[in-house]
Structure formats: structure tokens, C-alpha cells
């Protein structure tokens, strides 16, 4: 709707740009909405010849509703119009000293017109489009002032955790895009995604089985946030202040300044938060009948500073150049305290306390250059080039102290030092050409370079001097370059469509442990085909099928063999010999629309080779060392059902249910580990509109227990709630959120083997946050959310 306003404003200004500026009569006024007394920006004001009815000149009102026109004739009248309001005509203009001051002009809502416009987009709905599901944002979400993270939590199959981690069908590793490309805003190392509000979002595209157009990396899928094209000229912005318990305080300020040629945008955020984590572990040696138990609390206290700056330069109506950057700086303090008890034949023989003091600084920055060309023959005919650079650093030092409480002397001191640097560069070129209304070709290329260096050292206090432990000290170098090219062809008719594609990727990976000169070089090329088709039987029922081949390349922390000794009896390390896993993914999905309600039903099958199991434990002297390993193959078949049903205007339900049955085949240290298992996940969200303009939302999440290669993971059920109230005529929003209401979100895993038993349990606890947001100019109240990377 607003796009029409801006288009009409542009046409008016263009048509009258050439009219003589020698006007002797100045006409001013201010347009106000009658029921709220709020100024109306971007209303169209026309100067009309009273005899010929010809439009002589025109303008639009600015943020405060004011306008100014010039005329060299008195035989004129003024018309003021704005979509959703009755047109106002002002005649009998009486000049005074060469000026006409119309003062305050009130316009009224056109209720008939509003009803026609609003009904079309009342409720957010899901629809199919060949290789994706599109979640269109309706008024039920766009008017809430919620952040993009909250909107994502309403999208079927998508979940956002307390820390802002996004998962799809219960799996993390989701690739986030903004308008179809990687962006500073969507980066997991920035804080900007939480500052996109629901009213800015046109739709969210969920791609569970990506076509060859997209990077073959990752098995979870892609989420693409498509922003509205509307323009808000002038200075717009929003400010947010949050307070939380445990400590979670932050302030965010977003500013946007738009002119005819430039769109300048910025965001500043600062904050302080504490993340407690209660931990418990049991290491039991069944052969020797000994047991080690630990219990304690770990903190991650963080201060963070973030700034985003960028500009869009509209060279002309067909060419746009974007340059943006993000800088963040974090200061970490990680105090922890764990009590250890050692038992022999069920008798405690010693106990001690291990404390940690860790300090770290994490500088991060990103920059993005994008060029977009739109061709006049078709709005879908687009050439897009983007270059994205990222840097992350960590300078960390830790002091560990073991103090004996009773029994055997366990006094000890250790130090660790980490100097970590990572640089990542992505260059992407995409070209889309619709040859007809139904047939489209896409082609492009992508080059990703990832360079990492991690210098890690462990020292033990021996005879009053700290001595480096060579077995746990090394410099790890990681270099990975991935070049990909692709092509797709799509036919999409009114009822039936098909899309085929092929992607070729070459991966060049080199790792090196500098101190020991141990290297692992891999160079491999792979083809990634894709096929998608959909058929629309009628307005109520559509069917979609899809196939794609995917790859999961081991991440840095999967490969880096450094040791995490926070708990030096449960040590996590990487595996530099890890190989990539490949997955063939098949899907069949149905969508049913029943009036305001909708339901999606899908069946999927995945076959994975060189499957990576992330927690394979080896046990010696009550020390558990775990790392990721490639173990055989996985056959997985799943059923997914999700739907939305608005029972009434004041209450609606959104549900998501996923069942996954899988078979694992492989061996570990010569022992077969073949087994079958399944897992249920579910989410139910209820939205209720209460009196006094209060919105209430509660979400219940459930994840069943499941077997693993060496044991099992326990079930998990927890609930979140939120309250939101608009104030100050909708420009302000008060938010209250409670994550994990009943403090029931507990991660618990068991490793059950013939000669040893392990239990690991962790719990973050309840988080309560109270926030206030205020939008100014044409800005909307929004949330500022701090997302973390490590």
C-alpha cells in the first residue's frame, strides 16, 4: 500500500519538475489525522486549476505533516489525499502579503476503503513456491512491534533459543539470508537481526531442501528474510532499553536517514549480561569401581559494544550500490567453581574445589559491498554482486586453581592462553533472467575463503614455576577455500511448476599443527543436483516434492585439536582428520488452507554418508575425552505436521510436530555400533489479545529422549511466555518476556558402556526481561537483541 504512495509521490514530483519556479504565491499548511491528532506524513497535496481541473503542481507532506507549495495564480484550489483517508478539498484561498496559510488541516479515515485493504492481509499464512515455503507476514504480526527473532519463532518448523540460536526442524547450522544474500544484519557475530521489526518484513522464505542456486553447505536448510521495499524519507529511528534477571541490560539505538539518492542507516548497542550455567557430571569406572562426581556453576559475564553503519546509493532507478559495516567489541569474564568428589568402592577418599578466572576480549568486524542492477524488461531480471568480509579475534587467558577440601592432596594450579584470529571472505555473483512469464534461468558463482590461526598454550605450576605442557600446546592453522558455480532452470505455470539445477563445488582444505608439523590436506570436487516441483490442485490444496544433495564440511572447532580443560576430567577436543558428510535429501510436502486456518503435512527422507557423531568418548583414569568422529551412515525418515488456527479474533494457535526415525550403521574401534532410534519434537504457541491493548503469548516446547552411538539424551520440555503492550499511541511498546518459566530446560546426556558410565547435566535456568522501545519519525518501536557467537 505504501509503495503506491511513494510511486504516486514520485510521479507528481517528476511531472512538475520542469514547471517554472517563478511563483509569487506561497501556500503552507499542516495535515493532521482527526481521530488521533497525529501528523500525516507522505500525504499527497495537489494544486489544481479551478477552471480546467488540471494539476498544476504538487508535493508530499513531511514527517510533521507540513507542506509548502508555490503558485502564480489565484484561480486554484488544494486537494489532499492519502490512502485509507477521505480526500480533502480546500477552495476560496485568500492570500495575505503574498502568502496563504491554511493552518491545521484535519483528514478523516475512509472506513470503507480501509476495510477493502485490510482484509487481504489480516493473518500470516504459508504458501508454496517451487523450492520453498513462504510465510507471508500479516497484520497479526506486523502490528506487534516484535523483532525478527520473535517473528521467526512464529514460523512453522523454526525455533529461536534463549541465546538467539536459530534452528530448523530441531537442527542448527541454518544459513540466514537477508533479501537472498549473506548480510551483516544476519550475521551470527552481530546484534543487528533483533533490530529488524515485524512491520519491516514482507515475508520469510523457509528452504528445507535448497536448490542448486544456494551454497551446498549445511543440511538444516536456509531461512531468507525478505524486507519490504517501502521507503521512509526523512530521519527515522527507534530506541530500546532492556533490563533482565539474571543480569541482561542493554540499550539500542537505530537511525535511518533517507533522501532521493541515499539511504543512511546506523545502529548502536551496548549491554551487559550474565549467563549462569549449573553443571553436574559423573565419571564412573565400572571395572575398578571408582567414581568421580562434580557439581558447580559456571558464569559467562559479558559487556558488549556494537555499531552498524551503512548506506544505499541509488545511482538511478535501475542501479543500487550498498556499503555497510559492523564493528563489535566484547569483554568477557568467566568465573566458575566446581566441587569434585572421588569415590573408591562407594567410599569418598578425597574432595577438592576447582575455580576458574577467565578474561577475554573479542573484537569483531564485518563489511559488505553490494551492487544490484534491475533491468527494465522485467522486475525479476536482476544482476547481483556482493562481497562480504568478516573478522573475529579472541585474546583469552585463564587461571585454574585446585584446592583440597579433604582426603588426598589435590592442590594444583594451571594457566591457559588463547590467541585466536579468523578471517572469512565471500564473493557472490547471481544473475536471474525471466525469458517469459513462466520460464526463468538462474546462474552464478561463489568463492568463499576462510583463514584461521589458533595459538593455544597450557601451563602447569611445578615447584613454583609455570611449565608449558607440550601435549596440550600447539598452533593450529586452518585454511579452507570453496569455489562454486551453478545453473537452474524453472517453469512455473498457474497450477504446475518444476525447477532443476546443478551446482559444482571445489573444496581446498589445509590444516597444520605448527609445533608438531602434523597436517591434513583435502581437495575434492562434487556435483550437487537439485529437483523441485509443485502442483496447485485448488485454492485449498497444494503439493510439493523436492530433492537435493548437501554437504556438511567440518567446522573449525570440529577440527581444532586443542583441549578445553575447564573441567579437566571432561575434556573436549577436535579431530583434524574429520571428513565432510554428504546427504541426499528427499521431501514430499502438502499444504491445506481452510479459511483462516492452514496445515502443512510433509514426509522426508535423508541418507548421510561419513556421518559425524560429535560426542564420542574415550575413558582412562576417570578422565573422559570426547571428540567428533565419522561413524558410518545414517538413514533417516521423518514426518512433519505444522499448522495455524485462529479460533477467534482474540486467540490463535500455532503448532509444530516432527517425528524422526533413523538407522545408524558403522563401527568404532572395531566394534559395530548399528542401532535404530527415533525422536519427537513439538512446539505449540498460543496468542491471546487481552483488554487494554495487551498481547499475551505462551510457547511450549517438547523434545523426546533419544539414543546416541554410546548412550542416550534425556527428554526436554519447557515453556516461554511474553506480554506486550503498546503505549504512546503505538509509538512505544512495553515488553515482558520469561524464558523457561518453570526452569525445566535441562540438557542431560548419558554414555553407557561396558567398562564406564558418564552423566553430563547442564541448566541455564529462568530468564526474565523487561524492555521499553520507542519509535520516532516514521520508525517503529522495536526490540534490541544481543546475539552471540561463542
Q: Where are the domains of the chain?
A: 2-113, 235-776
For residue range 320-361, what is the model confidence (pLDDT) as tens digits?
898 888 888 999 998 999 999 999 999 999 999 999 999 999
Evaluate if residue 780 carries a pLDDT over 70: no
Between CA 509 and CA 187, with CA 556 as vertex, the angle to 5 degrees is 110
Structure-block grid coordinates of residue 11: 510521479
Structure-block grid coordinates of residue 689: 489479545
Nearest to 484 by CA among 507, 510, 500, 509: 507
Structure-block grid coordinates of residue 276: 549462569
Evaluate if residue 140 carries a pLDDT over 60: no
Q: What's the chain's Rg over C-alpha atoms? A: 30
Nearest to 246 by CA among 782, 758, 738, 787: 738
Evaluate if residue 202 carries a pLDDT over 60: yes
For residue range 437-456, what is the model confidence (pLDDT) as tens digits?
889 999 999 999 999 899 99
- Torsion angle (degrees, nearest 10) of CA 146, 152, 153, 154: 80
CB 476 within 8 A of CB 561: yes
**CA 778 to chain CA mean position, Å:** 25
Structure-block grid coordinates of residue 362: 573479542
CB 622 within 8 A of CB 569: yes
Evaluate if residue 13 carries a pLDDT over 70: no
Residue 123's pLDDT band, with cuts at 50, 70 and 90, is low
Structure-block grid coordinates of residue 628: 567428533
* Least confidently predicted of 294-298, 647-651, 770-774: 647-651
Q: What is the CATH topology of the domain spanning 235-776?
A: Maltoporin; Chain A (2.40.170)
pTM higher than the cut 0.85: no
As a whole number of angstroms, the distance between CA 788 and CA 784 comes to: 13
As a whole number of angstroms, the distance between CA 68 and CA 27 comes to: 6
Q: Which pLDDT belongs to residue 197?
A: 61
Query: Dihedral of CA 148/149/153/155: which sign?
Result: positive
Q: What share of the chain is helix, strand, coil (3-state, %, to 5)?
A: 5, 65, 30
**DSSP single-letter state for residue 472:** G
**DSSP single-letter state for residue 288:** T
Evaluate if residue 36 carries a pLDDT over 80: no
Q: Which pLDDT belongs to residue 234?
A: 60
First to last CA, the chain: 41
Between CA 564 and CA 573, with CA 568 as vertex, the angle to 5 degrees is 30
Evaluate if residue 413 carries a pLDDT over 90: yes
Structure-block grid coordinates of residue 725: 503492550
Q: Does domain 2-113 have CATH number 2.60.130.10?
A: yes
Amino acid at each position: 500500500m505504501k509503495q503506491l504512495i511513494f510511486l504516486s509521490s514520485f510521479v507528481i514530483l517528476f511531472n512538475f519538475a520542469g514547471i517554472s519556479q517563478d511563483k509569487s504565491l506561497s501556500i503552507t499548511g499542516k495535515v493532521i489525522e482527526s481521530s488521533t491528532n497525529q501528523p500525516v506524513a507522505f500525504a499527497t497535496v495537489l494544486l489544481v486549476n479551478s477552471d480546467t481541473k488540471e494539476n498544476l503542481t504538487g508535493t508530499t507532506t513531511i514527517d510533521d505533516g507540513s507542506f509548502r507549495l508555490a503558485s502564480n495564480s489565484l484561480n486554484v484550489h488544494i486537494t489532499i489525499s492519502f490512502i485509507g483517508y477521505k480526500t480533502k478539498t480546500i477552495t476560496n484561498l485568500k492570500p495575505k502579503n503574498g502568502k496563504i496559510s491554511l493552518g491545521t488541516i484535519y483528514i478523516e479515515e475512509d472506513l470503507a476503503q480501509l476495510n477493502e485493504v485490510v482484509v487481504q492481509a489480516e493473518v500470516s499464512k504459508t504458501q508454496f513456491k517451487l523450492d520453498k515455503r513462504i510465510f507471508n507476514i500479516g497484520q497479526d504480526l506486523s502490528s506487534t512491534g516484535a523483532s525478527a527473532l520473535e517473528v521467526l519463532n512464529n514460523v512453522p518448523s523454526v525455533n529461536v533459543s534463549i541465546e538467539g540460536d536459530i534452528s530448523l526442524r530441531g537442527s542448527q547450522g541454518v544459513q540466514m539470508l537477508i533479501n537472498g544474500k549473506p548480510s551483516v544484519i544476519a550475521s551470527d557475530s552481530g546484534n543487528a537481526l533483533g533490530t529488524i521489526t515485524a512491520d519491516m518484513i514482507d515475508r520469510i522464505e523457509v528452504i528445507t531442501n535448497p536448490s542448486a542456486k544456494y551454497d551446498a553447505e549445511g543440511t538444516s536448510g536456509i531461512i531468507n528474510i525478505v524486507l519490504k521495499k517501502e521507503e521512509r524519507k526523512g530521519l527515522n529511528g527507534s530506541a530500546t532499553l532492556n533490563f533482565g534477571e539474571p543480569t541482561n541490560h542493554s540499550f539500542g539505538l537505530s537511525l535511518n536517514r533517507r533522501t532521493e539518492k541515499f539511504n543512511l542507516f546506523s545502529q548502536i548497542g551496548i549491554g551487559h549480561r550474565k549467563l549462569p550455567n549449573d553443571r553436574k557430571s559423573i565419571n564412573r569406572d565400572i571395572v575398578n569401581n571408582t567414581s568421580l562426581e562434580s557439581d558447580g556453576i559456571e558464569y559467562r559475564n559479558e559487556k558488549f559494544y556494537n555499531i552498524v553503519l551503512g548506506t544505499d546509493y541509488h545511482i538511478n532507478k535501475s542501479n543500487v550500490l550498498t556499503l555497510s559495516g559492523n564493528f563489535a567489541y566484547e569483554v568477557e569474564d568467566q568465573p566458575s567453581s566446581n566441587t569434585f568428589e572421588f569415590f573408591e568402592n562407594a567410599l569418598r577418599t578425597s574432595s577438592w574445589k576447582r575455580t576458574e578466572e577467565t578474561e577475554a576480549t573479542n573484537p569483531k568486524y564485518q563489511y559488505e559491498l553490494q551492487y544490484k542492477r534491475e533491468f527494465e524488461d522485467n522486475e525479476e531480471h536482476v544482476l547481483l554482486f556482493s562481497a562480504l568480509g568478516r573478522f573475529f579475534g579472541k585474546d583469552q587467558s585463564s587461571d585454574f586453581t585446585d584446592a583440597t577440601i579433604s582426603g588426598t592432596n589435590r592442590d594444583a594450579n594451571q594457566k591457559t592462553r588463547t590467541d585466536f584470529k579468523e578471517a572469512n571472505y565471500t564473493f557472490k555473483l547471481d544473475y536471474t533472467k525471466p525469458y517469459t512469464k513462466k520460464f526463468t534461468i538462474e546462474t552464478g558463482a561463489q568463492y568463499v575463503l576462510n583463514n584461521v590461526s589458533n595459538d593455544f598454550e597450557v601451563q602447569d605450576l611445578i615447584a613454583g614455576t609455570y611449565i608449558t605442557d607440550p601435549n596440550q600446546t600447539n598452533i593450529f592453522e586452518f585454511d579452507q577455500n570453496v569455489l562454486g558455480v551453478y545453473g537452474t532452470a524453472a517453469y512455473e505455470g498457474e497450477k504446475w511448476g518444476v525447477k532443476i539445477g546443478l551446482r559444482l563445488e571445489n573444496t581446498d582444505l589445509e590444516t597444520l599443527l605448527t609445533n608438531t608439523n602434523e597436517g591434513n590436506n583435502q581437495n575434492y570436487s562434487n556435483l550437487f543436483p537439485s529437483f523441485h516441483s509443485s502442483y496447485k490442485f485448488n485454492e485449498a490444496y497444494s503439493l510439493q516434492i523436492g530433492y537435493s544433495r548437501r554437504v556438511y564440511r567440518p567446522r573449525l572447532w570440529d577440527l581444532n585439536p586443542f583441549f578445553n580443560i575447564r573441567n579437566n576430567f571432561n575434556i573436549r577436543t577436535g579431530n583434524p582428520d574429520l571428513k565432510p558428510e554428504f546427504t541426499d535429501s528427499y521431501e514430499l510436502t502438502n499444504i491445506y488452507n481452510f479459511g483462516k486456518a492452514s496445515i502443512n503435512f510433509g514426509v522426508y527422507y535423508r541418507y548421510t554418508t561419513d556421518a559425524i557423531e560429535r560426542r564420542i568418548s574415550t575413558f582412562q583414569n576417570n578422565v573422559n575425552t570426547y571428540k567428533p568422529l565419522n561413524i558410518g551412515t545414517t538413514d533417516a525418515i521423518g514426518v512433519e505436521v505444522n499448522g495455524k488456527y485462529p479460533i477467534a479474533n482474540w486467540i490463535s494457535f500455532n503448532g509444530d510436530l516432527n517425528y524422526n526415525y533413523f538407522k545408524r550403521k558403522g563401527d568404532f574401534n572395531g566394534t559395530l555400533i548399528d542401532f535404530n532410534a527415533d525422536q519427537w519434537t513439538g512446539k505449540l504457541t498460543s496468542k491471546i489479545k487481552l483488554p487494554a491493548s495487551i498481547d499475551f503469548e505462551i510457547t511450549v516446547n517438547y523434545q523426546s529422549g533419544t539414543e546416541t552411538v554410546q548412550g542416550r539424551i534425556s527428554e526436554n520440555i519447557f515453556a516461554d511466555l511474553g506480554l506486550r503492550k503498546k503505549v504512546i499511541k503505538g509509538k512505544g511498546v512495553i515488553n515482558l518476556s520469561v524464558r523457561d518459566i518453570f526452569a525445566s530446560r535441562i540438557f542431560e546426556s548419558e554414555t553407557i558402556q561396558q567398562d564406564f558410565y558418564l552423566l553430563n547435566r547442564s541448566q541455564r535456568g529462568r530468564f526474565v526481561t523487561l524492555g521499553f522501545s520507542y519509535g520516532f519519525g516514521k520508525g517503529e518501536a522495536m526490540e534490541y537483541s544481543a546475539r552471540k557467537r561463542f
